[in-house]
Amino acid sequence: MFKQKIILILLLLTSLYGVWWLLAPVKIIGVHHGMAHNYILVKNFPITDQKKISWWKKNNQEIKRKYKIPTPNPSNKFTIVIWDIGSGYKEMPETDQNSDLLCFADIKKKNCVEKPGLLMKIYRLPYQSKIFYEMNDGSLYDQPAETSETRHIK
């Protein structure tokens, strides 16, 4: 009887943690401007493709206002890459140590994150109005115009 209560309590706590984790809001930890890309580092990014795209559509105007991205080039092209911050920023090690890091030149110390954290890429090709959403698993969606629906294409 005692073991059953312990198991039930553990299941309840695990379920509550899972619900909390799924409902936690996305938090932008950092934004970096690169030569060809803009990077957004986040915590608690949605799991499903549709939720990721919905988050972007809901928040892109605020992100544009606050962080000045995307900044299309003269041909109207832009790329935004959203990364999971993981365990946070790391210092670039003295030696490679088999690390796979993405580092940002716009901050001095602890300016790198681990690369496996890619979540989503949002981009527009030169001289087009169509926006593409590429997920970390290779799925690809397009949105022919800003006001149109998103389509799964790959």
Query: In angstroms, rounded to a whole number, what is the distance separating the alpha carbons of residues 124 and 143?
Result: 10
What is the average per-residue pLDDT within 141-149?
84
pLDDT score for 20: 64
Domain ranges for the chain, please list them. Answer: 25-152
pLDDT, tens digit, 9 for 90 and up, residues 103-127: 888 888 888 888 778 899 999 988 8
Cβ atoms of 27 and 43 within 8 Å: the answer is yes
pLDDT, tens digit, 9 for 90 and up, residues 16-59: 776 666 667 899 999 998 777 899 999 999 999 999 999 999 99
117: which strand partners?
A: none
pLDDT, tens digit, 9 for 90 and up, residues 90-104: 887 776 666 688 888
